[in-house]
Amino acid sequence: MIVVERSGKSVDEAVNRVLKEYNVDKENVIVEVLETGNKGFLGILGNKQARVKVMIKTPLDYVKDFLDKTIEKMNLEVSYELKQEGDLIKADFTGYNVGLLIGKRGENLDSLQYLCNLVANKFSNGKHVRVLLDAENYRSKREESLRQLAYRMAKKVVETGRNIALEPMSSYERKIIHLALQDNPDVETYSLGEEPYRKVIIALK
């Protein structure tokens, strides 16, 4: 959360200075009035400006609020570390129920990540933000598992001379398969079908 203090002839003027300076909407800030200000005697002598403290909620704050509410509603015993690096927000989960959070082939984790991206970009004021969720290094383990699967299936295609269709995967996982075999001189890959049943085909060149 970004916290700034500004002054103005009135509370509204001081707040509007912050909104304009940071290009945010009023519903995305929390305002604390430090001084209401006054015009002084006859509006001339003893003028005192209004002063406000404005707390600006960032996409990171909105993602944290969303995750906290989701975890509570799902009644999960998990914790997470949330950090931001440039336009990338990363959350890494650990805990007793982390398997439920991940779901089959990471489907729950992917769905939650998709929703977090919607939340973050709704309040990013036009600047694209990317949210990446992981749980106890699941994504790196899954990527390595998919690469090994790609190598094994490619070898089988070469040995049998028959195409192999892999199980339906997300676009992210299909991309890992494609990249793993893109330099293989014997096979080629392409995707077939409609979401959510789209799958990778490994075929002889």
| Residue 80 and residue 36 share a domain | no
| Residue 51 and residue 64 share a domain | no
> Of 168, 173, 205, 176, which is closest to residue 188 (Cα–Cα)?
205
Which of 77, 105, 136 is where one domain is finished?
136
pLDDT digits (tens, 9 = 90+) for 94-103: 998 899 999 9
pLDDT digits (tens, 9 = 90+) for 9-23: 887 877 788 778 777
Residue 43 has pLDDT above 70, yes or no: no
d(CA 183, CA 185): 6
Please report the pLDDT score of residue 42 as a whole number. 53
Burial of 108-144, coded b for 16+ CB within 10 Å and e otherwise, reads bbbebbebbbebbbebeeeeebebebbbeebbeebee
Give how many domains the chain has, as a whole number: 3
| Residue 70 and residue 45 share a domain | no
pLDDT digits (tens, 9 = 90+) for 115-168: 999 999 987 777 889 999 999 999 999 999 999 999 999 999 999 999 999 999
CB of 150 within 8 A of CB of 158? no
Please report the pLDDT score of residue 89 as a whole number. 95
Residue 44 has pLDDT above 70, yes or no: no
Please report the pLDDT score of residue 46 as a whole number. 55
| Residue 31 and residue 85 share a domain | no
Please report the pLDDT score of residue 5 as a whole number. 78
Tell me the residue range of the domain where 10 lies: 2-56
Which of 90, 114, 136 is where one domain is finished?
136
| Residue 71 and residue 48 share a domain | no
Mean pLDDT over 27-36 rounds to 79
Which of 136, 170, 185 is where one domain is finished?
136
Please report the pLDDT score of residue 40 as a whole number. 54
